Amino acid sequence: MKTIKGPALFLAQFAGDAAPFNSWDSITKWAADCGYKGVQVPSWDGRLIDLDKAAESQTYCDDFKGQAAANGIEVTELSTHLQGQLVAVHPAYDAGFDGFAAPGVRGNPKARQEWAVDQVKKALKASNRLGLNAMASFSGALAWPYLYPWPQRPAGLIETAFDELAKRWLPILNVAEENGVDICYEIHPGEDLFDGTTFEMFLDRVKGHKRANMLYDPSHYVLQCLDYLDHIDIYKDRIKMFHVKDAEFNPTGRQGVYSGYAPWVDRAGRFRSLGDGQVDFSAIFSKMAANDFAGWAVVEWECCLKHPEDGAREGAEFVKNHIIRVTEKAFDDFADGGTDQAANRRMLGL
């Protein structure tokens, strides 16, 4: 068994234009002061990282890691959530997602996709230079507008969407293999990979590519009413990244799973700060330890009620208290009477 590393913090929700959130040096100092040992880095945020330099310069990467280490922080992973989203965009979402891209490719879906693929590949190369073995991402989505089968979907529509999704990602997965980095898709509503079944549909089409893996975040399963504990046991060999995020689902006579038109605070399903929701993290951390999860416990703060800085500080302590330092011996070793093969045979009457 392995002891999970942590606590770490995903910086995407905290980076900003005001100190201490506007530079790599100051945000890592702040994270350490909150009690974190590591940070997951949004690769699209130029205030924190220059992805072009990181992909090409070992010196830059060494300095990047060194500055964090001087502040008591380890780089856990890079994230390409926004760029991965743009690898596959249904035209209905062109306007909504255009802002994720560089200004020069906005309004041009073909150029935007090419830019996104290049970005993800650069992040894989940068991950290699940083000595990382996993990168977080979104799969993007071509079939999401057809999630609910009304009107009736024509035969082959979903299969065609997943064929195309796999075609777009397979060359990127091969770059991941060249760099020794797993792509961990966050299983997330809004992506074509939003549950175990859709992940398997994708995995079949990329021929079980060993670099196609999962970012496990139980909050997205609570909102789907999916068994997030059973999910760990089913996909333990593919779960290579862990977002520690809480959520609650409180259906009423007015709304349930499909309550997304309401503002977050009024929805049946809401993200909450750690400890304020319904996720059984004691069970999750136990399963992760038993399944030899070797990665980081990364807090992703998203809450419709609590201030982010309070959520961050409380989250560090929450994760610290849930990490299980695994035992190196059996609890009943004190009763070991010693044995050998001959004794074993005698005990069996052989």
106 to each of 60, 86, 98, 100, 137, how far by Cα in Å? 29, 11, 6, 9, 20
Measure the CA–CA gap between 61 and 175, rounded to whole angstroms.
Answer: 19
Counted domains in the chain: 1
Residue 7 DSSP one-character state: E
Please calculate the CA angle 97-98-99 and round it to the nearest 5 degrees. Answer: 90
User: Do the Cβ atoms of 12 and 41 come closer than 8 Å?
Assistant: no
What predicted TM-score, i.e. pTM, was given to this entire model? 0.95
Question: Of the candidates 187, 175, 317, 299, which has an alpha carbon nearest to the alpha carbon of residue 246?
Answer: 299
Q: Tokens for 348, please give them.
A: 């069996």
Mean pLDDT for the chain overall: 96
Find out whether the peptide bond into 151 is cis, omega within 30 degrees of 0. yes
At 125, list the tokens.
Answer: 């190369």
Q: Averaged over 181-203, what is the pLDDT?
A: 98
pLDDT digits (tens, 9 = 90+) for 67-112: 999 999 999 999 999 999 999 999 999 999 999 999 999 999 999 9
- Answer whether residue 45 shows pLDDT above 70: yes
Q: What are the angstrom distances between the C-alpha of 113 and each of 63, 120, 161, 188?
A: 31, 11, 16, 20
* pLDDT band, residue 329 (cuts 50/70/90): confident
Q: Does residue 40 register a pLDDT over 90?
A: yes
Q: What is the pLDDT of residue 327?
A: 79
339 contacts: CB under 8 Å, gap ≥ 6: none
Percent of the chain past pLDDT 70, that is, above it, reads 98
- Kindly tell me if the per-residue pLDDT of 286 is higher than 80: yes
Q: Is the pLDDT of residue 161 over 70?
A: yes
Total Cβ atoms within 10 A of residue 210 = 13
Q: For 219-242, write each residue's pLDDT tens digit.
A: 999 999 999 999 999 999 999 999
pLDDT at 36: 98
Q: E strands of 127-263, at which residues?
A: 134-137, 182-186, 212-216, 239-244, 246-249
pLDDT at 338 over 80: no
Residue 94 corresponds to which tokens in the numbers above?
């062109």
Full residue range of the structural domain in which residue 259 is found: 5-347
Amino acid at residue number 102:
A
Helix pair angle (157-179, 196-205), 10° resolution: 70
pLDDT attached to residue 346? 87
**Residue pair 170/206 in contact by the 8 Å Cβ criterion:** yes
pLDDT of residue 333: 65
Task: Say yes or no to pLDDT of 119 above 80.
Answer: yes
Q: Is the confidence at residue 335, as pLDDT, over 90? A: no
CB 195 within 8 A of CB 185: no
CATH of the domain at 267: 3.20.20.150
User: Is pLDDT at 4 greater than 90 in this prediction?
Assistant: yes
Mean pLDDT score, 296-307? 97
